[in-house]
Amino acid sequence: MTLRGTLVFALAGALFAGLAQPAAAVSPEDTAAQTLADRYAPVVRLQNLGTSCDSGEQFQPTDVNAVLGDQQVALRGPWRPPDLVKTQPEGTDLGRGYPGHFLDFPGDPLRPGCDYAEWSARINSTHPATVYAHVAGDPAYPGKLSLEYWFFYIFNDYNNTHEGDWESVQLIFDAATPEAALATEPTAIGFSQHGGAERARWGDTKLEIVDGSHPVVYPAAGSHANKYGQRLYLGRGSEGLGCDDTTRPATELRPHVAYVPMARAEYLKEYPWLAFEGRWGERQRSFFDGPTGPNQKDSWVRPIQDAETTWRDDSTIVPAGRVLGPSGTGVFCTAVGAGSNLLRETLDRIWLLVLILAALVAVIWFAASRTRWSDAAPLPARRRRAWGQTVASALQLFRRRPGLFGAFAATFVVLGLATLLLADLQAARRDSPTDLGAPTQHATGFWASLIALAITILTAATYVALLAAVTSTLDRLDRDAPASAALTWRDVRAQARPLAAVSVRYFVIIAVLTIIVATIPLAIYYAASRAFAIPAVMAERVSASAALRRSRLLVKGRWWRTAWPLAIIVGLGLSIGPIAGIILLLATDLQPRLINVVSSLLFAVAMPLVAAAVVYLYFDRAVTDAESPGSGDLPEPDRTYSRQGR
């Protein structure tokens, strides 16, 4: 036989052998699941591209194969500094798991510039927009089925910039198998948003459906948080704070559906990268870190349980965002963005962080040096004081009457422990909802919101009662009347109606002005000018309306000299607990629960001091020249508190 004949015979044999080899069988379950995935594939409406790489939406749902094997991608290890493990890693490389490792994309996530936008445009030019569909059950819910669509973006261009971004759309079926799911409709749907998801019933008015079965999703520009409509939203969650903008959808995509088989062994054959246990992006501090992949999420193995725990009822819409335009909402969004940029700039520039801290210390030192701290006798309460003396007087009063103020602090201790208990109860909820689309019956998100509202109301009410009690105590001591916890709380109960009326008006007006973003400056002005209304109710025995007017008159003409001492005093009181908690979290190995207890205790001790300092500020404003002993002892900077200048 000639050489040519031999080659022909060998090729023919190989071809025959290949034809004779049976193709890998696809299970009926996977066939039905793939049909289900195609039927409900989401329609993606991306935001306007923008005129430059730092505006609009620069990224689209990306085929993972466009990233893996790219010469600009590297797999790095968990060591410090991270060592190079492999360049141009393929999916089979990631199939080894590599826990603690991460993929490194071209660019610096803290200073992205145009690098990621240009790279995304290049690799997506040869690959279609892709979504990965996976059908899974949940051992705890044998009668339900989850259909998940996973989107991969190479960069998160939000306030917490980071490489890699996995987002999802999840549908819930009251069906045990894909075949049964094909015979019905979804009962609920969840759009991923900043570490959680927003729920909707199938057929809700907020859920847009095209062609009878395809949900429409609006990814927010940069953050890719999936939204139901065209709005400006307040993005909140474990991944930061900012504005999610979906107001300008310009590109509609129907991504290619890459079906992921149900069984692990089968999907790892087709997508070995789903075994990767590392991060899809460069490791960075805090929420600038690259994310883990879908296989590392709870929703991948416990989809129904995860939906019950993390889904919330709605998203917060920034009010008047489309009425007042950027002049109203831009202030808030720009401020949050600027703060995020400042944080990013200081993460790896210690010198800049030290410079900022030094400037902050210098400002505080300057403010402290411009006031008076000595001659701070706590009594009489009705006398002229510099703002530093109000703080010193509060400390001395606390030291002289520890039992009385200890009772005040105990109130906040109880509140703090109640808060921790409510949080534990919330975390321990394992209800079995009959309909995950029901937003107010069994939804964990509803209870979380209700608990948060209850805690906020309790905290505000406790502070009001504390401020009133401290005012009553100082008023009694000033008049040489008996002062005890029992007598003080009797006075507070006697003025309960005007106190409640003042509190409701004060906090509701501030809340409304704050929610309407454009009026936040008015909220700040109102908060300072009416800050003495509660002490006025207790010390002057006036009605709610008269107390609010009295506070406004006391602050009139000296708003700045009232606002910044209040900001310093109240701000330090509110922040001492969180600051201590952050320090303990970073510097110790204490359990988070214990750290929260310590923070609550510090807050409980600080708030009576804050209340006393505020009351001293009130008496300073309310006292007349004739009533104030030693007013001539004030240093020159505080001469502005004279009768004429006040």
For the segment 357-371, what is each residue's pLDDT rounded down to a tens digit? 788 788 878 877 888
Q: Residue 632's pLDDT is what?
A: 38
Better pLDDT: 502 or 636: 502
Q: Does residue 635 have a pLDDT over 60?
A: no
Residue 456 — very low, low, confident or very high, per pLDDT cuts 50/70/90? confident
Q: What is the pLDDT of residue 49?
A: 74
Give the model's pLDDT for residue 633: 38
* Mean pLDDT, residues 387-391: 90
**Poorest-pLDDT segment among 63-77, 322-336, 376-390, 504-518:** 322-336
Contacts of 212 (CB under 8 A, 6+ apart): none
Record the tokens describing residue 60, joined without a space.
């689209």
Residue 116 has pLDDT above 90, yes or no: yes
The edge-to-edge listing of strands for the beta sheet with 240-245 is: 240-245, 232-237, 316-317
What proportions of the chain, in percent to the nearest 5, are helix, strand and coil?
50, 15, 35
Confidence check: pLDDT of 136 > 80: yes
- pLDDT for 445 beyond 60: no
Residues 6+ apart with CB under 8 A from 171: 40, 146, 147, 148, 186, 188, 189, 202, 215
Percent of the chain scoring above 90 in pLDDT: 45
Alpha helices per DSSP H over 272-386: 298-301, 303-310, 326-347, 350-369
For residue 323, pLDDT beyond 70: no
**pLDDT one-digit tens code per residue, 176-208:** 999 999 999 999 999 999 878 999 999 899 999
Instruction: Give mean pLDDT, residues 212-226.
Output: 94
pLDDT band at 576 (very low <50, low <70, confident <90, very high): confident
The pLDDT assigned to 444 comes to 45
* Beta-carbon contacts of residue 4 (< 8 Å; ≥ 6 apart): none
Task: Give the C-alpha separation, 646 to 644, whole Å.
Answer: 6
Distance CA 188, CA 171 (A): 6
What are the structure tokens assigned to 564, written together? 């910044």
Cα separations in angstroms, 152 against 60, 120, 165: 8, 12, 6
pLDDT digits (tens, 9 = 90+) for 15-57: 334 444 444 567 889 999 999 999 999 999 999 876 667 677 8
Picking from 167, 138, 125, 207, the residue whose alpha carbon sits closest to that of residue 437 is 207
Q: Which of 257-261, 398-402, 486-490 has the lowest mean pLDDT?
A: 398-402
397 pLDDT band, cuts 50/70/90, is confident
Q: What is the mean pLDDT of residues 565-593?
A: 75
| pLDDT of 452 | 64
What pLDDT does 299 receive? 92
What was the pLDDT predicted at 79?
Answer: 82
Cβ(121)–Cβ(60) below 8 Å: no
| Nearest to 613, CA basis, from 385, 411, 419 | 385
Question: Are 158 and 337 in contact, with CB atoms under 8 Å apart?
Answer: no
Of 266-270, 341-345, 503-507, the range with the lowest mean pLDDT is 341-345
End-to-end Cα spacing for the chain: 116
Which pLDDT band, with edges at 50, 70 and 90, does 7 fall under? very low
On whether the CB atoms of residues 577 and 602 are closer than 8 A, the answer is yes
Per the CB < 8 A criterion, the answer to whether 306 and 299 are in contact is yes
* 419 has a pLDDT exceeding 50: yes
pLDDT score of 465 more than 70: yes
Tell me: cis bond preceding 380? Omega within 30 of 0 counts: yes
Rounded Cα distance between 201 and 311, Å, is 12
pLDDT of 645 reads 32
pLDDT at 344: 62
Nearest Cα to Cα of residue 312 among 169, 448, 209, 141: 448
Q: What is the pLDDT of residue 601?
A: 80
Ranges of each domain in the chain: 40-336, 386-428+448-641
Please count the residues of the chain. 646
Residue 15 is predicted with a pLDDT of 38
Q: What gap in Å lies between CA 176 and CA 137, rounded to an integer?
A: 8
Q: What is the pLDDT of residue 259?
A: 97
Instruction: Tell me the per-residue pLDDT of 327-358, one tens digit each, with 9 for 90 and over.
Output: 334 455 666 666 666 666 666 666 776 787 78
Write down the pLDDT at residue 236. Answer: 63
Residue 131 β-bridge partners = 257
**Does the pLDDT value for residue 105 go beyond 80?**
yes
pLDDT value at residue 409: 75
Bridge partners, 87 (sequence order): 74
For the cut 60, the answer to whether the pLDDT of residue 630 exceeds it is no
Three-state SS at 254: coil
DSSP class of residue 93 equals H
Mean pLDDT of the chain: 81
